[in-house]
Chain A
Amino acid sequence: MRFVSFRPASSVLAITALLLIAAAPSQAQTRAETLRYVTGASVNTLDPNIPGSTRESFALSMSTYDRLVAFGRKQLNGKWVFDLDKITGELAESYDVSPDGLKLTFRLRKDAKFQDGTPVTAEDVKWSLDRCVTAPILGKAQLLTGSLTSADQFKVIDPLTIEVTLPKPDKLALPNLATVYPMIINSKLAKEHATAEDPWATAWLKEHTAGSGAYVIETFKPGEQVIIKRNEDWNRGTPDKPAFFKRVIVQSVPEPATRANLVERGDADIVVDLQASDVQSLEAKGKLKVVSTPQYNSITFVSMNNQIPPFDNVNVRRAIAFALPYDDMFKAALFGRGAPLFGATWPDGKPLNGIYPFQAPVKTDLDKAREYLKAAGLPEGFSTTFSFNVGQASTAEPMAALVKESLAKIGIKVDIQKLPDAQMSTQINEKKLPFFTEGIVAWLPSTDYFYRNFYTGNQRWNYSSISNPELVAIAQEARFEPDKAKYEEDGRKLNAIHFSEMPQIPLWQPNQDAVMASSIEGYTYEFHRQVDYRDVSRK
C-alpha cells in the first residue's frame, strides 16, 4: 500500500510550480469594454451536456457555441424576455417547416466559421445533433421532449443544408434546437480527441471548446472564474455584428452581501443572484438599474405527497391550500418580489384560461380550512414534517416558520426539517417527503409540457406523486394538438383538474432581479435564467 506522500510544503509547492504552466499575461482591455459578471455559483464545465453542469455553465455555452436557431425576444410588462414563439436562425440562415410539420429543413449561413477558421458544414451539424441524442449526456433527455430521439432523423442534404424528420408534428422540436444542449460543435476538431471508449469526446469537450460562438475562452478556472474574449468574426447576433463587450469576466463570489457591495461600488457590472433584501435596498438608493422579471418559466410550490396519508385525502390537501398564510409568506420570503399564483377570483368557478401556471382562487381562510379537515375526518388535525433544502434557506426558512404557525391554528402540528441539498433531492426522488417546498423550471414553458413532466408518472419531477389518468390523457393529447382553440380548451381542463385535485399548491413565480450598472443596456431574461453576455452592451 502506497500513500500519497505529503512532503514538506516547500517541495510540494515546487512540484506544483513545475506542473503548472505560467499564465501568459493577457492584453489589457479598457474597463468599459469589459463586462464583469459576479455570481454565487460557478462554471464547472465548458460542455453544458455534462451531468452536473451548473446554470453558469449553460450561460457560458450560449456565448461560446452557436445553435441552429435561437429564441427571439419580446417585451413583457416593459421588460425584455425570451420569446418561445419567435424562433430565428443562428447558424441557420433560414429554415422551413413542411406543411405536415414532419420535416424541418435548415440552410446554413455561408459565412459561418468555427473559432479555428474552418467553415461550419452540415456534417458538423449532423455530428453535433447525433451526439446530443446518442451520447450519454444531458441533451438526450431534453431533445426527447421534442420527439428527437435518433441519429436517423438528421440527414445531410448538401454541405449547407440539413433536414430533420419527425415521427409526429411536435411543436417543441424546433424550440428544443434553440436550447442549451444541441450546440453545434466543430466535428473535425472534436473527433481528433475522441477515443474508443469516448467516441463523442465528452472528456475533451468538458475542458475545451470547439464552437463557432461569439466568445472564445481565455482562461477557465473551475470554481473561480472564466474569462472570455470576443470572437471578432462572429456575426450571428441580431444586428449582424460581433458582440459588444471585448472581454467578459465571469467570477464566483459566494457571499451575496459582497456581490451587492461589488455592484453598488461599480466594480461589478451585473449580477442576477442577490438576496431580495439587498435588491430592495439597492433599488431604493436608485443609483443602479434593477430589472425585475417574474421568472415566467419557473414556479415555487408547497408540495404534498398524494400517496402518503393523510395527504392522500383530497380534503386534507384543500385544507392546507386554504390555511397557508400566502401574503405573509410572499412578503417574508420574497419581499413581494415576484408574481403571486394565489388570490385569484374565478367568477364562474372555472379557470380563466388554459395557460399553466395559473393564478388559483385560493387565499388564507382558516374556517374553510377547518371545514375541509372535518370533511377529511381529521377535525383534530395531525402531525407532519415540512422540509426544505439548505440551498433555498434564505427564502424557505421564513416561509416554513409561517407555515408552521398558520397550520397550528387548525390543529396541524408541523416539524420543520432543513435538509442538505443532496439529501433533499434523494428523498424527493424516493418519494419519502410528505410535505415540502420546492421549485421547478421549464425551459420550454408550454401547458402540456408542464403537465406531462411535473404531474405524470412515478418519477422525480412529479413532486406530488399524483396519478390521475384523465390528466395524463389530456396532456398527451394536447402535445400534438395542432388546433390552437382545442389546445386552449385542453389547458382549461387540465387547470380545472389541478384546482379540484389540489395535488400541490403553486405559490408564486419569483422575480429574477438583475441588478446592473446604469450604463448596461439590453439585458434580456433568458430561458436558462442567466445573463446571455451577447445581449448586453454599455452605452
Chain B
Amino acid sequence: MTGLGATMVRAGRRLLSSLPALFGVLVFTFLLMRVLPGDPAVFFASGPNAGKEEIEQIRKQMGLDKSVPEQLVFYLSDIGHGNLGRSMMTGQPVLKDLRERLPASLELTFTALLIALIAAVPLGVVAALRPGSAIDHGVRLFCALGVCVPTFVSGLLLIYVFYYLLGLSPDPTGRIDVFTSLPPQRTGFLSIDFLLAGDIEGWWAACRQLILPAVSMALFVIAPLARITRASMLVSLGSDFVRTARSVGLSWHKVVVTYALRNAILPVITIAGIVFSTMLGANVLVEKVFSWPGVASYALDALLSSDYAPVQGFVLLMASIFVLVNLVVDICYGIADPRVSIG
C-alpha cells in the first residue's frame, strides 16, 4: 500500500502549504471588519440609558480602545492559544458557539448534499443517455425550477404545505422538538447520537426535523450537479473507449456505470466539493427559515451587529473547511481515477 502512504504524505504537504492562505484570510478578515462602518460598542450599548460611559466600557471590553495593529497582535496571539474571542451577541466564547453550531450545519449540509447527489447523478445520467428527448427536457425544466426558486421561498413553501396545510412535518423550529429529550451528546449529529443511544423514536423525530430544510437546500444544488453529470456523461459516452466497450458487447450496466460514469464522475466530485463548501456558509436563509441553530445564521446575526469575534471565527472556520474539502476532493480524484496524483 505504498500508493496510499504516498497520497497521505502528499496530502499532509498540501495541508501545510495552505497555512499561509489561512493566515492571509485571518488578517484580511480582521482588517475588513475594522474597515466596515459601524461601531459595535455603540450598537451593544443600546439599553434605554446607555451613555458615553457604557460605550467606552464595551469598547474596552472588546479591546477596541487600542490601535488596530495592537489589536491585531492581541488577536493573533489569542488565536495561537486557541481562543477565538467572545461573542457580544450570545455572551459566549466564539469557539464554544461554533462547536455547538457546526454539527448542526454539517448535519444539514451533508444530508442535503446526499439528497442532491442521489437525485442529481441519476437524473444527469438519464438525460445524457437520451439527449434531446422528453426526459432530457424534463430534467432541464426541473433543474431550472430548482435554481430559480430561492431557498427561502422553497423553504417557506415546503413549510406551508407540509406543516401548515397537511400537518405532516413537525414544527420548523430547529433540530429537535422542544418536548423531546436529547440523547447523550457523542458526535453532535443528532441523527447519529440517537442511533448510538438506541432511541429509535428520537432518531425518527430528528430525521423528521431534518428532512424539510435538507430538501429545500438540495433543490437548489441539484441543478449544477445534474447539469455537470449530464455534460460530462455526454463526453464520456461519445468517447472511443465507450464505443469500443459497446462494440465488444459488454453489458449495458458495465458500459454505462463502470466505464462511462466512472470517467465522467471527476468533474462531479469537484463541483460537489465546491457546492458543499458553499452550502455550509450560504445556507443562512434555510437556517433562518427553519430556525436551524447553525453557523451561517450565527455569522449573519454577528455581521449585522458588527460583532467582530464571531464573524472572524466563522470566516476562519469556513476557510479551514474549504481547505479540508479541497483536500478530500483531491484524494477522491485519486480513487476515482488512478492517473491523477495530487502534488
Contact = CB atoms under 8 A, between A and B. Distances in A.
Interface of A: 1-4, 6, 8-10, 12-14, 16-17, 19-20, 22-23, 25-26, 28, 31, 34, 36, 38, 42, 44-45, 50-53, 136, 138, 140-142, 144-145, 206-207, 221-225, 227, 249, 251-255, 257-258, 261-262, 264-265, 267-268, 390-391, 420-427, 429, 441-443, 453, 459-460
A442 B173 contact: no
A429 B39 contact: yes
A264 to B, nearest CB: 8
B188 A254 contact: no
B44 A4 contact: no
Given A2-B80, A422-B39, A459-B51, A258 B289 contact: yes
Interface string B288-312: 1111010001100101111000000
B271 interface: no
A222 B82 contact: no
B50 interface: yes
Contacts of B45: 51-52
B40 interface: yes
Interface in B92-140: 92, 95, 97, 99-100, 102-103, 106
Interface stretch (B83-91, B141-149, B229-237): B83-91
B249 to A, nearest CB: 44
A84 to B, nearest CB: 14
Contact of B179 (A19, A31, A44): A31
A199 to B, nearest CB: 16
Contact of B57 (A10, A51, A224, A255): A51
Contacts of A51: 44-45, 47, 50, 54, 57-58, 61
B291 A253 contact: yes
Interface string B67-84: 000000000100111101
Given A3-B80, A22-B182, A422-B38, 18 more contacts: A1-B76, A17-B185, A51-B54, A52-B45, A138-B47, A142-B49, A206-B91, A221-B293, A223-B89, A224-B293, A227-B178, A255-B156, A258-B173, A258-B291, A268-B171, A391-B304, A420-B304, A421-B304
Given A3-B80, A4-B84, A51-B47, A17 B174 contact: no
Contacts of B2: none
B245 interface: no
B171 A44 contact: no
Contacts of B259: none
Contacts of B256: none
A282 to B, nearest CB: 13
24 contacts: A1-B80, A3-B23, A16-B99, A17-B185, A22-B184, A23-B182, A28-B179, A42-B90, A141-B47, A141-B54, A222-B92, A223-B90, A223-B298, A251-B178, A254-B297, A257-B156, A258-B291, A261-B159, A265-B167, A267-B171, A267-B173, A420-B303, A423-B306, A427-B37
A426 B37 contact: yes
A303 to B, nearest CB: 16
A414 B158 CA distance: 40
A520 to B, nearest CB: 17
A52 B58 CA distance: 9
B37 A258 contact: no
B91 A52 contact: yes
> Which are the 4 A-B pairs with shortest beta-carbon distances?
A423-B38, A422-B38, A422-B306, A22-B184
A17 B192 CA distance: 12
A249 B178 contact: yes
Contact of B50 (A4, A141, A206): A141
A153 B100 CA distance: 45
Contacts of A421: 38, 43, 304-305
B211 interface: no
Contacts of A19: 99
A136 B173 contact: no
B324 interface: yes
Contacts of B290: 255, 258
Contacts of B79: 3-4
A138 B90 contact: no
